[in-house]
Structure 1
Amino acid sequence: MSILANAHSFRVDNMHIHSSQHVHSTQENQKEGWEMLLKHVASNALHDSSARFDPPKCDKDTRVEVTKELMDWIQDRESPQRLLCMTGAAGAGKSALQQTIAEQCSDSNILGSAFFFSAGDPTRNNLSRVIPTIACQLGLHNPALRDVIGKEIVDDQLIFEKNIKIQMNALVVTPFKRVSASGKLDCNTFPHAILIDGLDECSGEENQAELLSTIKHCLLDNDLPFRIFISSRPEWAIRSALYSKPEGYLYQLTYHIKLSDKYDATADIRHYLWRRLKDIGGRSHDLRAQSCLWPTNEDIEQLVAAASGQFVYAATVVKYVSERRGSPVDRLKKIIDWTPHDGQQTRPLEPLDTLYRLILSTAKELYEAVDTNRGRDFLLILRAHQVNSDRRIGFQTSTRLVDEIVGLEEGGHQVLFSDLHSLVSVRQDPKITRVWEEMHFYHLSFSEFLGSEFRAQHLFVSETRVRQYFVDSCLQKLRQQEDFLCNSSFSIIIMALLHYINNQTTHINDLRSLIDFTRNNGWRRLDERLSSHFKTGLFSFASSWNGLAHFTSHAIQRLNSDFHEHELAAIVTTYFDKWKASYQHCGFRLPEAEEEQNKEEKEREKEGN
């Protein structure tokens, strides 16, 4: 080897090779490899792509605090945590923040690469182009790095068909290490910010998890000088990696910003609406819009309340009002006064509703595909929880008890909501000593969406159907063989039945389950359970007995008057009299129930006469 160390022109087996030919061949290979890479790049995913023309970004003087926190983290290269994950509700403004950060990083010459996922774009809704796109952007910052990446591709032309860990090592990790070691790349000055937006919009939970795992094992474990910023709705892949219970594998390694919980965007949304609507009014030919009195404070505050702290609602309003056809004043009034009805053509919230339908459809498909869910109706159970959270059963009870009433296993609502964390959360009330959880909507408009057939379309479940579902579930619960473990559970089930059966909008046919309950010995089983409670002293609260007495006397009245099932009413009356006597024997009185029952008996006697 030492003999040929300085050779530059020699003959081998009648072949005369010049060093210039070798250099030319190497350059051609590197160029060929780079051109192959370009064919696998998702150009639509770039922060400045023409396909993303006018992307969402933070309005002037809004999201200042969170933007500063993000930029400070990216620029602090000494911080031990080199991965930042920002999670938040759908429409919280994550993509707008990512775009704003990408532009600021680009202006500061520290943007290494950016990839914006989009569920509706086949070039950027999967993993196939993520690593090539990142490698391409990094290579554009350094000619030597670009050459090594090209050579790696020529050496393994099947690289794009391999899993993303192999791609990341071959196209990013190995080239970066090699060029750094050669001295042709200064890690201290190389653009170091890698941004990935909308991880939840990458199709397939397993693919989302694989990308996170790849970032951990290839970029973080190799101690490369990148600062990686990922944003996502809090879906399964990112929750399982980040959350501490049980501890996720990225929990200790990640700086985690929970956008919807940490930052109240209400003031920013108010500022955004004022600024944008005033700007629209100033460019309008409608003199009303140009007036200093438009929009009014009341208009803005109604919109802010409807936004529920989520920017997507405000952005949807601005986009609708800014349409050139029609007056912005009239369009804003339509938004504020808008209620969906049959035959209506105007859909001012359609962009928002499209987002809701996408998330809800995906969650429904994933939930109902699991065998252990036993064919349960996802939308029906979700609406049951929503109706409870909105107190439309006359009161609100814990999500745990709703699970019990509708026959879900313990913690069933957590499974139900597992793919809706961007829209719904379950919160514990610290003021209540016993375990109490309640459903919380990040968007007021999502709750309204669920209750509107016009907006929800094929995902709509009527409240009448929900009422009937509650009635059936409560009656089924009452005739189960198992004893009630909790007196309060029994009391609330009775209250729920009372509300739904007594609801003026409940159709008579909806209560056929009351007849089935009576014919199938439901009252006898309820009597057995009550007798057990009397013996153990578990059932001695007057409020619970009051509810039972009202429910029973009401059932007698409905069976007699509405269904003309007098024999069945007589059966219920027997149990009612028995329970009333037992209750009075314990020293309690039920004046309201007794008065109601006596009144019904007198009315029946009068009808008989």
Structure 2
Amino acid sequence: MSSFQGAHDFNIENLIQAQTYTTVTVGSSTSPLEVLRGHIEPGALHNSRERAEAPNKCHPDTRVAVQEEILRWVAEPIRPTEQILWVTGPAGAGKTAIAGSIADTCYERGDLAASFFFSSFSGEVNRCRKRCLVSTLAYQLRQHPALQGISREMLASIENDPAIFEKCLLDQLKLLILNPLGSFCDRGVGPSQPDAVWRPIIIIDGLDECGPDEEGDPSKVRSGLPPRTKENEHEEILSILKYALDSSAFPFRIILFSRPERAIRQFFSTELESGGFFSKIFLDEKYNPSLDIARYLRFKFASIRDRYRLPDNWPTEEQMEALLEAASGQFIYAATIIRYVEDTRNPPVIQLNHLLEVHSPSSTPLESLDALYTQIIDTSPNPFASLCWLWAIQKLIIWPHSPLALPALFCNQFLASIPGEAEYLLGNLTSLIDIPPIGDATSPYKFYHRTLLDFIGQPSRHAKVAGAVEAKNGLELQYSSGINLFITQYIKVLMNKGPCIPLEKGIELFLDYFGTLPVYSFASLYIARFSRTPAWVHDSLSSCDVPWWMNRITTTYNAMLGYHQFELLSIVHFGCPWYRCSAACRYWKKSILNCRTLVPIEYYSSENPQKRVPFWHTRSQLSTSWFWKNVHLLVPVDSLAVSDLDEGETSERMGERMEDT
């Protein structure tokens, strides 16, 4: 009896399709296509329902310049040495929105072969893991009209080895993509022919958000083996992409969107060193993001005005300027603004006013941005230590009274206790802060986003950073570990006459920068933190070579710089009993007076800044309280003639009299 008895609605096209699959489905209850379908991540597709529910594309008439540059690269002839375009930039610069818009454009033109959008914010775990990357790309390639010929080989690989999806990414790449493409090209068909005009593109977005499979799943952590890290995953994915690009059977070019994380930066740096070449676009001020943000905000505010029938002059130009200044070219901030203003808990006018009240402790409108910052900082091996470093760095680089611009190299030398600590703590945070390359001794750190500074300084906003709650114990960061880091490192420099890690060269430059640090502001915060100066501070200060420091200050710095240096002494004297100073306090006073003396000078009265008041030292003014308050009025002994000293006293005799007092 015929196998087709009772069949109906049957045509030759279906017969051919059935014959194709019969060779690979015999003996299997589930077809290879269904197996493949079960190992993809639909939410990672550029046109998935999950992505359509979120604003994952550029607003019309925004980011036009950068999109045109990317599309020009897509339209260029295929070059063997230029098959990957890396689009990178700081967090919140709009990379994912640009990737979504480019994917849509390429899809409409027929140039998009496949895409994968990683996302650590997605509810689907496979969007922040590598396990479905190759299978999802393969599924899309099989669906493309120009690549239908690879289907048989791909499905046969699954039929022959159903456990293929448990193999490493490289083996999956070979069996699901490269081998089928190679067989496809051997038959002399497809876009890989020399005269083909199709320029297929694969888009991968958010590579930096891909984490290890074992994360959060202790059952998968193998005993005795170190756990996988995000960097391991980034390196593996980049290595298989490079392997694919080096294959003659791989006709595609890749557009990769990511933050400039350590492993990704190193990959492209190695490519440059080995003679390879790639294109790179960094989303900076060259593309005038502020103009696009203004256009986006005005459009959104116009929609809100229409919805609530608000006056045409809302928001005011002053409010718009304040928002644009705070955005600092970051689209993440603009999107957060609109989400907050559209929140129905209050009328839009009130919501916007709350947003502009950035110093209001009850206003927390930037939850999305805080979550982003928290997520990035948590990628550091020690998130809270990284947060403390960021706090100290931003205090150092925004100090307004320093006559010298503090470079990142000095900040690293000053804050580090062990070699490589700066790279260890900050290496994964390059999407938040611009880190000068190794060997750059002059460039400073640069924070990409102003709201990051608010995030660092407000405990309510950074409380979810790993380790922050335990470390701060309800106190603000600046009153605990942040200020403790600065004061500890400062005292270590005083003790060592240099940084904790000895310098082979550049010690003089380091000490020059060190003399400009804003000690008084840090000392004030430190004193506010404790009721008494901790004993270890007094012990450490007692072992400092004060004469050496006094000699350096008198020969190197002017009076203003010496003033900053001596403000540390408020810590030395703080907490001393009224009847007798501590040993460290007395040691510093005596050492200072051995190098300096009190002389008749004129200074500006704090009560009346316009009046110059002559000052003469008297016996009553040599009290301890007077000394620590006016120590900046001392001038070097070496700069005076003997006749300048009142009553012919020497600095040694004055030191003795100070001890008696």
TM-score (norm 2): 0.75
User: Following the alignment from structure 1 to structure 2, what is the Cα–Cα distance between the partners of residues 456 and 315?
Assistant: 20
SS in 1 for 2:444: strand
Pair 1:463 & 2:463 matched: no
Pair 1:58 & 2:61 matched: no
8 Å contact kept, 1:241–1:248: no
1:46-92 Cα offsets, whole Å, 9 max, x none, are 11111222342111111111101111111223344111111111110
Pair 1:329 & 2:353 matched: no
8 Å contact kept, 2:436–2:445: yes
The 5 Å alignment of 1:450-599 reads 450-459=456-465, 462-465=477-480, 466-480=482-496, 486-487=507-508, 489-490=510-511, 492-496=513-517, 498-500=519-521, 503=524, 506-507=527-528, 509=530, 512-513=533-534, 516-519=536-539, 522=542, 525-527=545-547, 539-543=555-559, 546-547=562-563, 550-551=566-567, 558=574, 564-565=580-581, 568-580=584-596, 598=617
8 Å contact kept, 1:404–1:410: no
1:242 match: 268
User: Following the alignment from structure 2 to structure 1, what is the Cα–Cα distance between the partners of residues 313 and 543?
Assistant: 65
| 1:387–1:548 CA distance, 2 compared to 1 (3 A) | closer
| 1:316–1:579 CA distance, 2 compared to 1 (3 A) | same
SS in 1 for 2:190: coil
Greater shift in the superposed pair: 223-232 or 265-274: 223-232
SS in 2 for 1:438: coil
Deviation at 1:103, TM superposition (A): 0.7
Deviation at 1:118, TM superposition (A): 1.1
The 5 Å alignment of 1:333-412 reads 333-341=353-361, 344=362, 347-363=364-380, 366-367=381-382, 377-391=385-399, 397-409=406-418, 412=421
Deviation at 1:332, TM superposition (A): 1.8
| 1:520–1:355 CA distance, 2 compared to 1 (3 A) | closer
SS in 2 for 1:228: strand
SS in 1 for 2:119: coil
1:94-144 Cα offsets, whole Å, 9 max, x none, are 000010011111111221111000114312211111111101101012432
| 1:273–1:353 CA distance, 2 compared to 1 (3 A) | same
Pair 1:315 & 2:316 matched: no
Greater shift in the superposed pair: 451-460 or 321-330: 321-330
The 5 Å alignment of 1:214-363 reads 214-222=240-248, 224-243=250-269, 247=272, 252-260=276-284, 262-284=286-308, 287=309, 289=310, 291-341=311-361, 344=362, 347-363=364-380
SS in 2 for 1:512: coil
1:544-582 Cα offsets, whole Å, 9 max, x none, are 88348844875776576779526654433321221116x
1:193 match: 201
The 5 Å alignment of 1:42-81 reads 42-52=41-51, 53-80=53-80, 81=82
1:167-187 Cα offsets, whole Å, 9 max, x none, are 111111111221233245344
Work out which of the residue numbers 147, 153, 169 in structure 1 matches 2:152.
147
Deviation at 1:220, TM superposition (A): 3.5
Deviation at 1:207, TM superposition (A): 1.2
8 Å contact kept, 2:517–2:564: no
Unaligned runs of 5+ in 2: 1-15, 212-229, 469-475, 605-613, 627-659
User: Following the alignment from structure 1 to structure 2, what is the Cα–Cα distance between the partners of residues 601 and 189?
Assistant: 93
8 Å contact kept, 2:527–2:574: no
SS in 2 for 1:194: strand
1:135 match: 138
TM-score (norm 1): 0.81
| 1:146–1:580 CA distance, 2 compared to 1 (3 A) | same
Greater shift in the superposed pair: 37-46 or 476-485: 476-485
1:177-204 Cα offsets, whole Å, 9 max, x none, are 2123324534436671111000001112
| 1:540–1:279 CA distance, 2 compared to 1 (3 A) | closer
| 1:170–1:512 CA distance, 2 compared to 1 (3 A) | same
User: Following the alignment from structure 1 to structure 2, what is the Cα–Cα distance between the partners of residues 354 and 549?
Assistant: 39
2:644 match: none
Greater shift in the superposed pair: 516-525 or 222-231: 516-525
| 1:391–1:99 CA distance, 2 compared to 1 (3 A) | same
8 Å contact kept, 2:182–2:249: no
8 Å contact kept, 2:24–2:159: no
1:96 match: 97
Deviation at 1:156, TM superposition (A): 2.2
What amino acid does structure 1 have at the position aligned with 2:23?
Answer: T
What amino acid does structure 2 have at the position aligned with 1:448?
Answer: D
8 Å contact kept, 2:533–2:571: no
Pair 1:418 & 2:427 matched: yes
8 Å contact kept, 2:117–2:204: yes
| 1:468–1:394 CA distance, 2 compared to 1 (3 A) | farther
1:363-393 Cα offsets, whole Å, 9 max, x none, are 1xx247xxxxxxx933323321121122278
User: Following the alignment from structure 2 to structure 1, what is the Cα–Cα distance between the partners of residues 185 and 522?
Assistant: 75
1:11 match: none
User: Following the alignment from structure 1 to structure 2, what is the Cα–Cα distance between the partners of residues 563 and 397?
Assistant: 41
1:435 match: 441
Name the count of aligned residue pairs: 559
SS in 1 for 2:103: helix
8 Å contact kept, 1:200–1:235: yes
* Percent of residue pairs bearing the same amino acid type: 24
Give RMSD over aligned pairs.
3.9
Deviation at 1:34, TM superposition (A): 1.7
User: Following the alignment from structure 1 to structure 2, what is the Cα–Cα distance between the partners of residues 26 and 501?
Assistant: 76
Deviation at 1:542, TM superposition (A): 4.1
8 Å contact kept, 1:491–1:544: no
What amino acid does structure 1 have at the position aligned with 2:241?
Answer: I
8 Å contact kept, 1:523–1:575: no
8 Å contact kept, 1:307–1:443: yes
2:164 match: 159
1:445-500 Cα offsets, whole Å, 9 max, x none, are 11111001121114455222333432332222212276997455445545537414
User: Following the alignment from structure 2 to structure 1, what is the Cα–Cα distance between the partners of residues 21 and 491?
Assistant: 84
Greater shift in the superposed pair: 119-128 or 445-454: 119-128
Unaligned runs of 5+ in 1: 1-18, 369-375
Pair 1:602 & 2:621 matched: yes
User: Following the alignment from structure 1 to structure 2, what is the Cα–Cα distance between the partners of residues 481 and 32?
Assistant: 73
8 Å contact kept, 1:118–1:198: yes
What amino acid does structure 2 have at the position aligned with 1:40?
Answer: H
SS in 2 for 1:113: strand
1:33 match: 32
SS in 2 for 1:115: strand
User: Following the alignment from structure 2 to structure 1, what is the Cα–Cα distance between the partners of residues 461 and 559?
Assistant: 41
| 1:56–1:577 CA distance, 2 compared to 1 (3 A) | same
